[in-house]
Chain A
Amino acid sequence: MKPFDYIRAETPADAMRADARIIAGGTNLLDLMKLQVETPSTLVDVTRLGMTEIERAENSTRIGALVTNSDLAADPTIRQRYPMLSRALLAGASGQLRNKATTGGNLLQRTRCPYFTDISQPCNKREPGSGCRAQGGYTRLHAILGASEHCIATHPSDMAVAMRALDARVEIESNDGATRILTFDEFYNLPGDTPEKETNLAPGELIVAVHLPDPPAGRQTYRKVRDRSSYAFALVSMAAAVAVEQGRIASAAMAFGGVAHRPWRSPDAEAALVGREPSAELFDEAADILLADARGQGGNDFKIPLTRRVVKAVLTELTGA
């Protein structure tokens, strides 16, 4: 690890400094600092700032940025009202890691692309302009949707996929006293030609909370497909909520992990389901729309048919079709 100065934030203002890197659970940042993928010169520890409450408000639930992944998964409100979120968290990492991992840190964890984490390789995300060795290389973990010629990395989080399906928003504070609340599509970027700019968080800004609107109608689930049945990142995952009324789909929300640079959603695929009777043909039609622009890199070609099968399995489970 490169040497760094350590500051313990006593107030949120202490944490909002453009010249320091925030550390929360440390389970991603320290891992990457040991590999010298991350080399901050100053760390500001936010773990004594509170922000550990899960508050129920009028039409939403507010999750403090330092709520641990374990506490969030075990919270009675989340288990009852947002089961897909509990399920997504419980499908991620291990008991030990979830006890340390925080809500804010989980959102900002970096890709598991092996070329990003190997500093002897070029990587546009780590070193803009150096190239992308993943393309033409080992691509089992990589994106099939929304990738660019500069970067084909995926976002590794399970939690963020469920939050995306739930239309969550990220509450951010900065040192000028301003608060911004961003949707996930505003918060996360696609790689384009600036894959190093993963989010719209500016230096010195602090994530203080995530807001969940009231849960969507119908049944919810989270399905994760991986190389081992536990303790492995998603190859493909899907968070979904579907309501069926009088034999027809009344509403559908679907978000996907393991397939893109950010949790992926296809409003057109969702719209195609609404008002229709659930059936295998209809689910195929939704998968066609979702995957219309999907492109494999060789090693991840399997994700295209796998995503289709996950869509069909999850929609069958939720609609009973």
Chain B
Amino acid sequence: MKTTLTVNGETHELDIDPRVTLLDALRHHLNLTGSKKGCDHGQCGACTVLVNGRRINSCLALAVMHDTDEITTVEGIGTPENLSPLQSAFVRHDGYQCGYCTPGQIVSARGMLSEFRQGWPSHVSDSLTEAPDFTDAEIRERMSGNLCRCSAYPGIVRAIRDAAPEETDGKEAAE
């Protein structure tokens, strides 16, 4: 089936079986292997990408359903020569060990920060109506969809806290 995916600003025309997940389309059809397959069942967050600015699990999405959507993967967040603030904070704070979960953590953190800036409450927010404080408890709860088998969590939380003020792509998640 003909499908157009816009990934990191580049448009790609694909002809794919409707069974292909967005994750497999990125990895196997577009050779963008930054997004990782951990569980393939929505449980680990390694496959997190942004669709129209919002973070989702690309393993539980069909590529054909994202025809014409704007997708951002970790490759679109920064490059080895030009790391984004979140990416360099992960390096600085040891936000990983094996690194398998890291692309998902970084893309998820980007989406999470945008949700936070829009004032979305979380399970640990005391108030649903006042703007939440950016505490470590808030970071942990909002990032609970990203598992790290190496348990680099303390570094992940520090990295996100540190990079939060600078990390934005200038566009907020679609209203």
Binding site for B on A (CB under 8 A): 1, 3-6, 8, 23, 25-27, 30-31, 34, 43, 45, 47, 70, 73-74, 79-80, 83, 86-87, 90-91, 93-97, 99-100, 230-231
- CB distance B142 to A26 under 8 Å? no
Find A95's partner among B18, B40, B61, B112 (CB 8 Å cutoff): B112
Find B60's partner among A1, A31, A43, A73 (CB 8 Å cutoff): A31
Q: Is B108 an interface residue (CB 8 A)?
A: yes
Q: A26-B61, A83-B128 are in contact. Are A93 and B145 (CB under 8 A)?
A: yes
Other CB < 8 Å A-B pairs besides A3-B17, A5-B18, A34-B41, 18 of them? A3-B19, A6-B64, A26-B61, A27-B42, A30-B62, A31-B41, A45-B62, A74-B120, A80-B129, A87-B128, A90-B125, A91-B123, A93-B145, A95-B108, A96-B111, A99-B54, A100-B57, A230-B144
**Nearest 6 A/B pairs, CB to CB:** A94-B145, A6-B18, A230-B144, A79-B128, A231-B144, A74-B120
Which DSSP category, helix, strand, loop or mixed, fits chain B's interface?
Answer: loop
- CB distance B60 to A100 under 8 Å? yes
Q: Is B1 an interface residue (CB 8 A)?
A: yes
- CB distance A230 to B18 under 8 Å? no
Q: Pull 10 A–B residue pairs with CB atoms less than 8 Å apart, ordered by A.
A: A1-B19, A4-B18, A6-B1, A26-B62, A27-B42, A30-B61, A45-B64, A80-B128, A87-B123, A94-B145
Find A30's partner among B21, B45, B146 (CB 8 Å cutoff): B21
Q: Is B115 an interface residue (CB 8 A)?
A: yes
- CB distance A27 to B60 under 8 Å? yes
Nearest B residue to A93, CB-CB: B145
Number of A-B residue pairs with CB-CB distance less than 8 Å in the complex they form: 102
Find B42's partner among A83, A90, A95, A97 (CB 8 Å cutoff): A97
For the complex, give the distance between the alpha carbons of A43 and B61 in Å. Answer: 13
Nearest B residue to A25, CB-CB: B60
Q: A34-B40, A90-B121 are in contact. Are A95 and B55 (CB under 8 A)?
A: yes
Give per-residue flags for B136-165: 1 if the beta carbon is below 8 A from chain A beta carbons, else 0: 000011111110000000000000000000
Contacts of A93 in B (CB 8 A): 145
- CB distance A95 to B142 under 8 Å? yes
Contacts of A5 in B (CB 8 A): 18
Contacts of A91 in B (CB 8 A): 123
Considering only residues 49-72 of chain B, those with a C-beta below 8 Å from chain A are: 54-57, 60-62, 64-65
Give per-residue flags for B33-44: 1 if the beta carbon is below 8 A from chain A beta carbons, else 0: 000000011100
Least CB distance, B88 to chain A, in whole angstroms: 23
Considering only residues 94-146 of chain B, those with a C-beta below 8 Å from chain A are: 108, 111-112, 115, 118-123, 125, 128-129, 140-146
Q: A6-B62, A79-B121, A87-B128 are in contact. Are A96 and B57 (CB under 8 A)?
A: yes
